[in-house]
Amino acid sequence: MSTDEVRIQADDFDPGVETKALTRGRKDIGAVVTFIGVVRGDDELKSMHLEHYPAMTAREIESHIVKAKQRWPVIAARVVHRIGELCPGENIVFVGVASAHRQAAFEAADFLMDYLKTNAPFWKFEERGEGGNWVRARGEDDDALKRWR
């Protein structure tokens, strides 16, 4: 049976494997929505280093899955987030939501991503040509959260 899962890992993930795990052993799922975040490059970005708060991260994301399930009829949800050194073009996050119907799956996936961006304790350090910098939080991400209040 599919169950909820949250994983934090340095290794890449296989979106096909993650997606299949969402429906395994069930016949009541009619919609699976998945989101994959990718490291976006530019002319100077060499790589990104992702740091997190191990004791808190999975717990925080799991609490948002609980909230999503209180709001939509979600059957299973799965979040995989990578940490460590990542280069442009590499996968960074997978969010998948399974439900009976598409609307709940779309909205719950969107909700989970918005909460992950603004609450999950990850920090990105960008390695650039000369030195590097910590990525600054974006106001747009906080604004996106207001849609769910």
* Binding interface with other proteins (CB under 8 A): 37, 50-53, 55-56, 59-60, 81, 92-93, 113, 116-125, 134-137
CB closer to other proteins, 65 vs 92: 92
Query: Cβ of residue 111: shortest distance to other proteins, in angstroms?
Result: 13
Instruction: Please state the closest distance from residue 1 (CB atom) to other proteins, in A.
Output: 28
The nearest distance, CB 125 to other proteins, in angstroms, is 7
In the sheet where 47-52 sits, what is the strand order? 84-86, 47-52, 122-127, 132-134
Rank residues 44 and 142 by Cβ distance to other proteins and give the closer one. Answer: 142
Q: Are 75 and 29 in contact (CB under 8 A)?
A: yes
Residues in the chain: 149
Tokens 């970005």, residue located: 45
Residue 117 to residue 146: CA distance in whole angstroms: 13
Dmax over CA atoms of the chain, in Å, equals 54
Q: How far is the CB of 110 from other proteins (least distance, A)?
A: 12
Nearer of residues 30 and 34 to other proteins, judged by Cβ: 34
Q: Which residues contact 146 (CB under 8 A, 6 or more apart)?
A: none
Comparing CB distances to other proteins, the nearer of 30 and 49 is 49
